Amino acid sequence: MAKLVTIFGGSGFLGRHVAFDLARRGWRVRIAVRRPDEALFTRTYGHVGQVAPVLCNIRDEASVRAVLTDADAAINCVNITSPKGKSTFQTIFVDGAANVARLSREMGVERLVHVSGIGIDPDSDSKYVAAKSRGEAAVLEARPDAVVLRPSVMFGEGDSLYTKFASMARFGPVVNIAAGDTKMQPVWVGDVAQAAAIAAEGGVAPGIYQLGGPDVLTLRDIVQQALTSIDRRRLVVNQPIWLARLGAGALDMVQTVSGGLISNGILTRDQLKLLSKDNVVEDGAQGFDAFGITPTAPQAVIDDYLWRFRPSGQYETIKKSAKNLRAD
């Protein structure tokens, strides 16, 4: 019988790519999510019955234990960008990750892959980064044999990087950014998913792997790449951090006062702290080489999903070509 993998957060941005990759490799895939009815699209990733969304709350030990039953491997891709209700950085990144690691050990799950992030620092003033760090430590304490993946900021269809700036460019001549000189190493989500699949199959030794793309770019560079892809000219304005902090604080206040009914999906104060620090692979760190993967550059991918933000959408290329036609 084919091996079984449980992917926590398997319907999310990274998780769905991991699920698709492992399904193609012949694994049976269990998608562990809080709302299985919203993850039914993952069933199309494999043959009938090969991919199955199941109910699981990573904060609840009983449900984690249930979805780990008979699993040969587990991959934790769960991520949130801001706290909401009972899903806080502590409960998701620390308590939830610890549940997965400890129970996977107790239940004899052969391999565990945990997705963390570059820039882990337990003393970070970013609550997101500090919680990720504590969660990673909890995982390694329970499962020293785990493979920990630390990707830089990921891009791909449905991302919150290139897609966000391409969308912003539609609404005026100016694109406002903060921390424009911050360095990043954008990594294609497909490459990270492939690394996770290889790790689940035992293709690399236990340890920590930092995954970055082939190019180190500033945030301003990334915005310019997005603008070039969608064929729009915009003035990119780098706001002072103090001004961005005021705006983020006001948006956070609106979310707090509204009791979460109005969510700050633009920029939180914690996200600004994260954005203000470089996000690149450290010298000497293990990376894609260990997986035999050559990372993909953004220019090779972003045109495939940013076309809808061009002035004429899917017809932009045809219109450009038509300008060269002449009537005889």
Per-residue pLDDT, 6: 98
Mean pLDDT of the chain: 92
Nearest to 147 by CA among 291, 19, 323, 243: 291
| Average pLDDT score over residue span 145-157 | 97
Give CA separation, 208 vs 200, 211, 266, in Å.
14, 10, 31
* Residue 73, number of CB atoms within 10 A of its CB: 24
> What is the CATH architecture assignment of 4-156+185-214+279-296?
3-Layer(aba) Sandwich (3.40)
Any idea how long the chain is?
328
Inform me whether the pLDDT recorded for 328 exceeds 60.
no
Per-residue pLDDT, 56: 97
CA–centroid distance for 99 within its chain: 21
Out of 51-65, 122-136, 153-167, 311-325, which region has the weakest mean confidence (pLDDT)?
A: 311-325
For the residues of 60-85, what is the DSSP string, one character each?
-HHHHHHHHTT-SEEEE----SS-BT
pLDDT tens digits for range 123-134: 888 999 999 999
Inform me whether the pLDDT recorded for 263 exceeds 80.
no
Per-residue pLDDT, 255: 79
Confidence of residue 193 (pLDDT cuts 50, 70, 90): very high
Which is more confidently placed, 247 or 101? Answer: 101
CB 117 within 8 A of CB 150: yes
User: 3-class DSSP state for residue 188?
Assistant: strand
pLDDT tens digits for range 202-258: 999 999 999 999 999 999 999 999 999 999 999 999 988 878 888 888 888 887 787
Q: Beta 235-239 vs 174-178: how paired, if at all?
A: parallel
Inform me whether the pLDDT recorded for 162 exceeds 90.
yes
Alpha helix (H) ranges present in the chain?
A: 15-24, 61-68, 89, 97-106, 127-142, 162-168, 189-200, 219-229, 241-257, 269-275, 303-306, 316-322
Per-residue pLDDT, 248: 82
